[in-house]
Homo-oligomer: A and B are copies of this chain.
Amino acid sequence: MNRKRVTIYDLAKAMGLSPSYISKALNDYPMINIKMKEKIQMTAQKLNYKHNSYAANLRKGISRTIGVIVPNINKKFFSEIISGIENVCFENDYGLIICQSQESFEKECKAIETLIRQNVDCIMISITAETQSTEYLQNIINNDIILIQFDRYIENFNTFKVLNDNEFMAYEATRHLISKGYRKIAFLGWVEQLTINKLRIGGYLRALKESNLPSLIFDNAIQKERTAEVATKLLKSIEPPDAFVTFADHQALIVLQVAKSLGIEVPEQLGIIGSGNDSLTEITTPTLSTIDQKSIDLGKQAADLYFEILSKKLSKKTIIITEKIVPAGIICRESTMKF
């Protein structure tokens, strides 16, 4: 590999100046003669000089790079978060290195190793479903890298966190249905053991309790067939629910299909709310109400948090914020418009 680029030495030689002077000029040091500065920057451009980040970072001991680890980047939720992170990083002239754990703890560990070797300044991670051990995360901190967990995180592990408020999200969705006049609201949950699922159940129950309404919880109803099965069973029962809170748009859509096939009118006889604000939810008939998780914003918040920490660290102030909550919003469309 003989990628021979123009260096500050080349510029120095070409201009009869010292390399250190060139470096300062290029980095906008104040004590440089303004005329010279301009001249040097002109020449750099002309000679197609490219600053070598590796050399600078090695010298400075920082990388201006953030590493992100997510289970999958080809999921709307995560790709939006990354998009949000990327925007903020770009503005601050920070690079982003992306890794996918593919829900494998082993890949996750390898990704962490890689990012540490890459000398990243910060690692943002949403852990896999498998991740139990806190050892690798601790390793990040031991290497003086700022660790921010987002969305899926390890509890009882004291790091920075940026999270959706799942309890509140479920509470709001349930409240929304209640406010629209629905009275027997079924909950279609995700995997039972997941923390987020438990939190959602909590929010759901809280809303019901406030209005003295009965609960109807079905966990593990995330797979297509299972969702259809549960929805069918419930809607055919003697006292069917008059609404469903779900936490994925595809769940909501399946419920909608089942309802249609049984001749049940949505939203008149049945209210349905999904989650994720998939672009197709605007197009269905009826259009689907949905929980907007503000995932781009969540990514933005995570990146903002990093830069806050950084500035506090530089100014030696104590750091106060360790957890940010990004509130979800309810997007009200036809599927919950009983009135």
- A residues adjacent to B (C-beta < 8 A): 1-5, 48, 50-55, 57-58, 60-63, 65, 72-76, 79-80, 82-83, 86-87, 90, 93, 95-100, 102, 107, 110-111, 113-114, 116-119, 139, 142-145, 224, 249-250, 253-254, 257, 260-261, 278-280, 282-285, 296
Contacts and interface: CB of A to CB of B under 8 A. Distances in A.
B254 A51 contact: no
A235 to B, nearest CB: 16
A53 B118 contact: yes
Nearest to A48: B142
A211 to B, nearest CB: 31
Contact of A283 (B107, B257, B282): B257
B100 A97 contact: no
Given A53-B119, A54-B63, A280-B280, A100 B87 contact: yes
A143 B87 contact: no
Contacts of A75: 79
A107 B90 CA distance: 9
A142 B61 CA distance: 29
7 contacts: A2-B144, A3-B62, A3-B143, A50-B116, A58-B58, A65-B97, A257-B285
Nearest to A63: B54
A194 B114 CA distance: 40
B82 A98 contact: yes
Contact of A96 (B4, B52, B76, B98): B98
- Nearest 4 pairs between A and B by C-beta? A79-B79, A74-B83, A3-B144, A74-B80
A250 B280 contact: yes
Candidate in A117, A145, A254 with the most chain B CB atoms within 10 angstroms: A117
A250 B279 CA distance: 8
B73 A82 contact: yes
A201 to B, nearest CB: 25
A104 to B, nearest CB: 11
A137 B83 CA distance: 23
B76 A74 contact: yes
A316 to B, nearest CB: 13
Given A1-B61, A116-B50, A260 B280 contact: no
A280 B253 contact: yes
Contacts of A72: 83
B95 A96 contact: no
A34 to B, nearest CB: 24
A311 to B, nearest CB: 13
Contacts of A4: 144
B224 A119 contact: no
A3 to B, nearest CB: 4
B114 A224 contact: no
B257 A5 contact: no
B99 A97 contact: no
A184 to B, nearest CB: 24
Given A3-B143, A74-B79, A253-B280, 13 more contacts: A4-B144, A51-B117, A72-B83, A73-B86, A74-B76, A74-B82, A86-B98, A86-B100, A95-B118, A224-B282, A224-B283, A257-B284, A284-B284
